Structure 1
């Protein structure tokens, strides 16, 4: 699908990632990872930040432990990582450019859901602080049945809860891990952020640097039902 075709399409539902897509929290995860590793005296291998981006926090904690040569500390690093992230996110909640405006616009013509690898309480707190929580009909996070990204489960579940087929549903994502999840679920995908290279962009229908790009805001605005004057 070309960018022209997706920008002329009206999805039946839209599913947003939260961290790094709506909320500027990826920097908090990166800081939390660095603080945790420093506390344990571990130095990650080159490229660790990119490998960890978008992973469920439990997988990230165990990845840190394995790369540090201490897999037995996986649970301890995971707990420490989440604690540091929660503190950082609570102290400095920031929405991504264009996120608030896009969510408000899209909510006027389609049901919305969140598909996130974060704990539910973290997602809800972040969205509530940003004044966006009320716009979402569903929030889907991993549990004992729903596997985390890059598995397709969170996006399949979100589409089902919205009452739409995956092919009629749009995902908005920023990480390779999340994009893999959405693509495997059969959703159409808008990717957002710095250009990640051909391997990632081959999986999306449209890549934009920011959600405040005029073609994105214009696409959403053109789909809001017009009131008919009497």
Structure 2
């Protein structure tokens, strides 16, 4: 691995917007288990490679996909409800951060506006970040909300709104994502995109400006240490 700064990390940005599942929190494994439990609850077997299709999807879209792939469209609402119930139970019992997440967030905190753009329900995002000791570092959390017209990823809405709430133009903000669904959303919103974790297969990975293996990649931490001007956190 090289520690030579990539052009993306030499760029002077004005805000950072993180995905949550699979980026900050190690909860994708909980989604996988929740999907398996929901399928079993209805006596169904997940089709081959279903996890790859479902990664990054909003849970309602995932529930519909589950029903469609087993040719049971009438079970879409039931599978969606079961999926969310199982996930909430799992993530409450075992909230775990991704490697490097705490270190990177703390380095950036107070230097730049920070936000989260997630497809998860707000209660899940806020609860997970709170238990991980990270909630206070984020000024804004944006999740899909039909009442506000915010559509889930891969629509660009969550990232576009997050950049606006941070007070910056989208092209001056950096999105940090782990899934092709999220990368597509951030790219469509006009943000620069850093992919983290194993680089997914498929052309969609080219939507990211750079892929790094983890949030504690040396070049990323070096960049974070030199970004912005440290400012105290607002009093809670």
Structure 2 segments unaligned to the other structure (5+ residues): 232-236
Mapped to 1, the partners of 2:45 and 2:95 lie a distance apart of 28
Mapped to 1, the partners of 2:201 and 2:61 lie a distance apart of 24
Q: CA deviation at 1:224?
A: 4.9
1:47-104 Cα deviation digits (max 9, x unpaired): 2111100000001011101111111111111111000000100111100000011111
Q: CA deviation at 1:225?
A: 3.1
8 Å Cα contact 1:105/1:224 also seen in 2: no
Aligned twin of 1:10: 12
How many equivalent residue pairs?
Answer: 226
2:209 equivalent to 1:216: no
Among 140, 144, 150, the residue aligned to 1:146: 150
Secondary structure at the aligned position of 2:16 is classed as strand
Mapped to 2, the partners of 1:36 and 1:226 lie a distance apart of 45
Q: CA deviation at 1:38?
A: 1.2
As a proportion of its length, which structure holds more helix? Answer: 1
Tell me: CA distance 1:70–1:11, structure 2 relative to 1, closer, same or farther (3 Å). same
Tell me: CA distance 1:59–1:41, structure 2 relative to 1, closer, same or farther (3 Å). same
TM-score, normalised by the number of residues in structure 2: 0.92
Secondary structure at the aligned position of 1:77 is classed as helix
Q: CA deviation at 1:199?
A: 1.4
**Which deviates further from its counterpart, 146-155 or 217-226?**
217-226
TM-score, normalised by the number of residues in structure 1: 0.95
Mapped to 2, the partners of 1:210 and 1:102 lie a distance apart of 10
After superposing on structure 2, the runs of 4+ consecutive aligned residues of structure 1 that deviate more than 4 Å are: none
Q: CA deviation at 1:197?
A: 3.0
Mapped to 2, the partners of 1:95 and 1:34 lie a distance apart of 22
Matches within 5 A, 1:84-99: 84-99=86-101
Task: Tell me the C-alpha RMSD between the 2 structures.
Answer: 1.5
Structure 1 segments unaligned to the other structure (5+ residues): none
Secondary structure at the aligned position of 1:50 is classed as helix
Aligned twin of 1:200: 204
Mapped to 2, the partners of 1:91 and 1:78 lie a distance apart of 20
Mapped to 2, the partners of 1:133 and 1:37 lie a distance apart of 32
